[in-house]
Amino acid sequence: MNKTKVHPNVAAASPAVPAAAGEKGEAVSLTVWRRSLLFNGKGFTVFDTNGNLVFRVETYARGGSPREVVLMDAEGVALLTVRRKKLSLAEEWLVYDGDGDEPAPRRFTARRNRSLLRTKSLARLSPPRSLDGTGDVPGCRYDVEGSYAGRSLDMFACTSSASGGNQRRRVASVCRKEAAVGLDVFRLVVEPDLEPALAMAVVILLDQMNAS
């Protein structure tokens, strides 16, 4: 597939920054291309609605799935690192800020749903445990539902209310592009109260889970 068929501005690779959470009060629509800009690399290339480069992911693992994947901005600055947890009986991945070097703060632990029951749930992202091990650091939990293979996903933020109930709202979704460009090109829509980089990290997580 020629890059110009996905977006005409990719050759210029103009850096763009999607609207920050709540900056404009409207959803951010991104086009995700499941291919690296590098000839020999695997990964993702992400554009905004103007065809400008926003995020990129480049991996060099041969066969299977790499244990660590770094999400970068258009200029190659590491934003988030997705790392598969070693020696874990459960299929778990860790999401770190930056390039994941210690002592980079961990943002989330992601676990793949392996339930034998029929369920739409694919994965759950939970805040890290507190330093004393007594509980989770306060923050949102995210649930992902749908089909990654079919490029039809919804991401929900789940928080506890003061009354003890749970609040759940959709913060991102993945759907196929209208044009017949195959499953390697799809749309990622991010609501204003979620970081676009975190939504893209979830796409990377699901791609890793499907490949494992």
- pLDDT single digits (tens) 95-121: 999 987 766 788 999 999 876 666 788
- CATH code of the domain covering residue 116: 2.40.160.200
- Note the pTM of the prediction, 2 decimals: 0.82
pLDDT confidence tier of residue 7, bands split at 50, 70 and 90: low
Report how far apart, in Å, the C-alpha atoms of 84 and of each of 19, 52, 75, 94, 99 are.
Answer: 29, 30, 25, 6, 14
Q: Contact at 8 Å (CB) between 107 and 94?
A: no
Domain coverage including residue 174: 3-211
Q: What is the pLDDT of residues 119-132, one digit of tens each?
A: 788 999 999 865 44
Using alpha carbons only, what angle is made at residue 28 by residues 58 and 143, rounded to the nearest 5 degrees? 75
pLDDT higher at 154 or 130: 154
pLDDT, position 120: 84
Using the predicted structure, report yes or no on whether residue 204 has a pLDDT greater than 50: yes
Tokens of 149: 């293979």
Residue 91's SS3 state is coil
Give the chain's domain count. Answer: 1
Q: Contact at 8 Å (CB) between 112 and 89?
A: no
Nearest CA to 8 out of 50, 38, 45, 42 is that of 50
Using the predicted structure, report yes or no on whether residue 3 has a pLDDT greater than 50: no
Q: Contact at 8 Å (CB) between 203 and 44?
A: yes
